[in-house]
């Protein structure tokens, strides 16, 4: 049907497949746009006809509180009449009925999150017509019972177990194992039972009017946009709530018409590895929902070739044509109806990062894509999956069972038998493996919480496999030897019974499951990944550095392509059995000496001052050794070292001295008790109500004289030592938590004096820039003043987010932030992706003001936002020079920076 003018009365809420295009994705949704495009590519004989109700209709439906848009019902009837004309069948006709499916189709693929209803149009009369027309009463009555069950569950919310119990009873009475083996009489009886269940739970008879069935199904799909699992999926994947879903209405074709029929899912390439060969699942004499639900173990395309060689050849040809047209790996659903192939859907395949990277490389080599377009096919955020652990090659373990390897990588953790259990254990900091007989869309939150997923049923195109690959979670499916009993809290594998909370390990690359403790090792970057990262490095403008505090971290960062260290947090060097006591004593002595000086300036040469100086010297020696190892690893690459930042009380916790006092009194050691008591008093005095806004960073450096100077001297001495045996280090000193130019001026002066002292002793000098971390709103607003004293800026976006939004990250994420996200008050966590309108505006202000004073002022970011793809794109547009992130996110940042340069 042709689109019409867009007045309120004639707005085109409905568009036929033949009138749509791939460019109309926002209006037709992924499914509708692809069906329209497929109709153009493969022809109407290969794609069953239909029409799409647009996302605009869903948006209007939601705006009106669940009331259908004006004119929609009439347009549906017009489109249905055209479909009836094309097919030569009529919806609900008692002689030759047309049956349709009603499916969701958001503009962004959300597999399994929204609702579908099949076999609409069957009623008491048309089921007999379908039986006579096909000569297959079994098909007709099986389709009728499927409609009642699916309609009841999806449209009216009847519990699935009510029907499952009836199915189990029917199979038991008929002495059969699977539903498809029930005879016609059993199916008729089951239909009667299903109708009773429907009326019992809804208080109404099942709607026999096919137009009423269609209208209610469309409403149900619209409503499914706001179900809990869809909301959770959108939040986890950054999909806006405002998009809405389209609804596709398509002529039904039947894969359950006998031995010359079947249904399946196929990929143009392996979605796990991107090996260039078609891969897929097939079920003989089955409908499509039997395949994707994962409730039956499937056959593969080789089995299809053996059973129906002509259909296999047609399918392979269609797969090749669709991949060439879309220039991307395709995930298609197909049905064979009595020896005739139909393609029901195609979409870009959800793939593991391993497959995404290899496909990009192969597609360029095959001439399918340019390097720039190939990079655009990769979601940078998924690349961390390539850095998942794997079983150590020499690990010895008992293989309990082996399933289908569905998403690569290895995972180990406590068994969680429900999504909620996985979430609860993850909230307690425990790694888990989610184990289910088969998964459904309601398990999506558990997927996010778990380290890996294991299921007893399903194939590589089951719900578990698709969602796990999209999230980068290791996954094993189809492990048919396992039995899961959530109520009893047990997992049985053969004759071995494990309980919820016991540990298991899975390998999503091989399908292995074991209960032994297996060493997991970090993976190597393969040649495809190396090639793609090389393209990214040639294209990107932003530099990529690492947040690294140790030589080991630095080595790992270099392996992953870091171009320097953007943040070395010196406080992390203060922790360790060999230094914790020295650190505590240094801070206690420093605080006591500071107090004494306040009342007696002559005390600068007293015993407390001497004790503090001695502790500083000891700690300086330790820090120098740490810095030396770090600078040796980094060679001539830039290394930005931040001087001490955390609150003072973190280094002298009250509990430590309370315990020391108890122990001393128990031993009767009065001297030790007196010492512990005095230190406990200092620790209690230093406790703060809001320590993150208290005595930390530059404030601590100004209070405890000599502290920052000690660190600066340790840095200078380490740099000089390294420069004698290798390349000259490019070390930078960063002063934290600066709000006023005067703070930076004073601290810079003392740091420069400390550096000069070291250089004078050595008889040589090194250039060591001194900059600041911009992490307070005031610093952004007066950045031109602060730039007068700074050689560089590095944005600490974690703290800048907290201080700009008035949020405590730990408290907010545990308390109200999830509620804000679920209500759509915020588009996502501002600690994961930068708040562009608020915090981002402050970054732009600071960048502009800073460079107004010093046009070449280097600008970087060292919060974890530096590894978030959406944030990296913002930093590129804001004109920053580099981002810095944790080592594992460096490949993500490299590709994200390249994509930002392309967009």
Catalytic positions, please?
A: 463, 862
Which whole-number Å values give the CA distances from 471 to 333, 672, 818, in the listed order?
Answer: 22, 55, 20
Token readout for 477 is 């499916």
Burial 117-135 (b: 16+ CB within 10 A, else e): bbbbbbbeebbbbbbeebe
Collapsed DSSP state (helix, strand, coil) of residue 859: strand
Secondary structure letter of residue 88 according to DSSP = T
Six-digit token string for 655: 């509990």
66, 219 Cβ separation under 8 angstroms = yes
Helix runs in 278-418, H state only: 288-292, 301-307, 309-326, 353-365, 371-376
Q: How far apart are the C-alpha atoms of 893 and 795, rounded to whole Å?
A: 16
Structure token digits, residue 685: 């005095």
- Residue 103's Cα: distance from chain center in Å? 25
Q: How far apart are CA 230 and CA 875, in angstroms?
A: 30
Long-range CB pairs of 39-48, under 8 A, 24+ apart, other chains included: 41/321, 41/322, 41/325, 42/318, 42/321, 42/322, 42/343, 44/17, 44/18, 44/86, 46/318, 46/341, 46/342, 46/343, 47/17, 47/342, 47/343, 47/344, 48/250, 48/251, 48/252, 48/253, 48/342, 48/344
How far apart, in whole angstroms, are the C-alpha atoms of residue 685 and residue 677? 12
In terms of Cα–Cα distance, which of 373, 379, 292, 286 is closest to 332?
A: 292
**What is the torsion angle, in degrees rounded to the nearest 10, for the CA atoms of residue 518, residue 521, residue 526 and residue 532?**
120
The residue count for the chain: 903
DSSP-based three-state secondary structure for 713:
helix
* β partners of residue 433: 415, 452
Which strand ranges, in their side-by-side order, compose the sheet holding 401-402? 401-402, 512-514, 503-507, 410-416, 432-436, 452-455, 475-477, 404-407
- Whether 846 and 738 have beta carbons less than 8 Å apart is answered as no
Structure-block tokens of residue 246: 């389209």
């Amino acid at each position: 049907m042709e689109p019409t003018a867009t007045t309120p009365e004639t707005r085109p809420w409905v568009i036929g497949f033949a009138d749509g295009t791939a460019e109309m994705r926002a209006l037709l949704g992924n499914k509708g746009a692809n069906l329209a495009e497929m109709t153009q590519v493969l022809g109407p004989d290969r794609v069953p006809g239909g029409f799409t109700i647009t996302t605009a209709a869903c948006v209007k439906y939601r705006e009106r509180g669940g009331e259908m848009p004006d004119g929609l019902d009439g347009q549906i009837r017009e489109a249905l009449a055209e479909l009836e004309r094309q097919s030569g069948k009529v919806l609900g006709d008692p002689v030759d009925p047309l049956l349709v499916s009603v499916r969701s189709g958001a503009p962004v693929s959300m597999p399994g999150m929204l609702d579908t209803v099949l076999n609409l149009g069957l009623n008491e009369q048309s089921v007999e017509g379908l039986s006579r027309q096909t000569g297959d009463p079994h098909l007709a009555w099986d389709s009728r019972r499927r409609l009642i069950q699916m309609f009841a569950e999806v449209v009216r919310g009847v519990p699935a177990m009510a029907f499952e119990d009836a199915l189990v009873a029917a199979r038991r009475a008929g002495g059969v194992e699977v539903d498809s083996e029930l005879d016609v009489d059993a199916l008729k009886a089951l239909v009667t039972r299903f109708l009773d269940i429907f009326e019992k739970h809804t208080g109404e008879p099942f709607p026999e009017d096919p137009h009423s069935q269609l209208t209610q199904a469309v409403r149900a799909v619209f409503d499914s946009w706001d179900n809990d699992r869809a909301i959770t999926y959108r939040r986890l994947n950054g999909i806006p709530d405002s998009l809405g879903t389209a609804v596709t209405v398509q002529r039904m074709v039947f894969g359950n018409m006998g031995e010359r029929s079947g249904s399946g899912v196929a990929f143009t390439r392996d979605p796990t590895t991107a090996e260039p060969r078609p891969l897929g699942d097939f079920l003989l004499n089955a409908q499509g929902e039997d395949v994707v639900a994962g409730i039956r173990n499937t056959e593969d395309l080789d089995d299809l070739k053996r059973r129906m060689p002509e259909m296999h050849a047609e399918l392979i040809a269609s797969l090749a044509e669709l991949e060439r047209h879309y220039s991307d790996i395709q995930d298609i659903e197909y049905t064979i109806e009595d020896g005739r192939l139909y393609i029901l859907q195609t979409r870009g395949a959800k793939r593991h990062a391993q497959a995404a990277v290899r496909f990009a490389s192969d597609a360029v080599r095959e001439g399918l894509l340019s390097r720039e377009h190939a990079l655009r096919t990769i979601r940078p955020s998924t690349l961390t999956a390539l850095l998942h652990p794997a079983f150590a090659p020499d690990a010895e373990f008992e293989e309990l069972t082996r399933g289908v390897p569905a998403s690569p990588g290895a995972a180990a953790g406590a068994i969680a038998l429900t999504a909620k259990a996985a979430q609860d254990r993850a909230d307690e900091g425990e790694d888990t493996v989610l184990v289910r007989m088969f998964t459904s869309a309601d398990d999506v939150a558990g997927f996010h919480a778990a380290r890996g997923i294991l299921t007893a049923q399903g194939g590589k195109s089951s719900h578990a496999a698709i969602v796990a690959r999209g999230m980068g979670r290791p996954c094993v499916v189809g492990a048919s030897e396992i039995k899961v009993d959530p109520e009893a809290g047990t997992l049985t594998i053969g004759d071995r019974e494990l309980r919820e909370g016991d540990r298991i390990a899975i390998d999503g690359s091989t399908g292995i499951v074991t209960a032994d403790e297996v060493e997991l090792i970090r993976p190597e970057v393969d040649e495809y990944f190396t090639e793609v990262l090389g393209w990214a490095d040639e294209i990107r403008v932003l530099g990529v550095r690492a947040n690294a505090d140790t030589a080991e971290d630095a080595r790992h960062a270099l392996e992953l392509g870091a171009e320097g260290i953007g943040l070395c947090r010196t406080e992390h060097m203060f922790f360790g059995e060999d230094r914790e006591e020295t650190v505590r004593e240094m801070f206690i002595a420093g605080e006591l000496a500071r107090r004494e000086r306040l009342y007696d300036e002559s005390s600068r040469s007293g015993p407390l001052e001497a004790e503090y100086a001695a502790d500083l010297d000891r700690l300086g020696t330790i820090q120098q050794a740490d810095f030396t190892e770090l600078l040796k690893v980094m060679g001539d690459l830039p290394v930005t070292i931040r001087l001490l930042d955390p609150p003072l009380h973190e280094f002298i916790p009250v509990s430590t001295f309370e315990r020391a006092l108890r122990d001393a009194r128990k031993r009767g050691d009065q001297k030790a008790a007196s010492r512990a008591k005095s230190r406990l008093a200092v620790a209690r005095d230093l406790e703060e109500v809001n320590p993150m806004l208290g005595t930390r960073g530059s404030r601590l450096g100004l209070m405890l004289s000599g502290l920052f100077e000690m660190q600066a001297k340790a840095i200078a001495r380490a740099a000089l030592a390294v420069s004698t045996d290798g390349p000259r280090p490019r070390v930078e000193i960063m002063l934290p938590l600066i709000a006023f130019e005067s703070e930076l001026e004073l601290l810079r002066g003392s740091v420069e004096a400390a550096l000069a002292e070291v250089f004078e002793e050595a008889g040589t000098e090194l250039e060591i820039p001194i900059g600041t971390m911009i992490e307070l709103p005031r610093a952004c607003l007066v950045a031109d003043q602060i730039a007068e004293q700074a050689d560089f800026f590095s944005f600490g976006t974690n703290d800048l987010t907290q201080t700009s939004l008035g949020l405590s990250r730990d408290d907010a994420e545990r308390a109200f932030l999830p509620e804000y996200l679920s209500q759509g008050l915020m588009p996502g966590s501002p600690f994961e992706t930068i708040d562009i309108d608020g915090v981002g505006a402050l970054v732009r202000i600071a960048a502009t003001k800073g460079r107004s004073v010093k046009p070449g002022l280097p600008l970087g970011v060292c919060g974890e936002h530096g590894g978030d793809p959406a944030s990296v794109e913002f930093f590129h547009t804001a004109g920053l020079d580099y981002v810095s992130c944790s080592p594992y996110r460096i490949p993500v940042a490299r590709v994200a920076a390249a994509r930002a340069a392309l967009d």
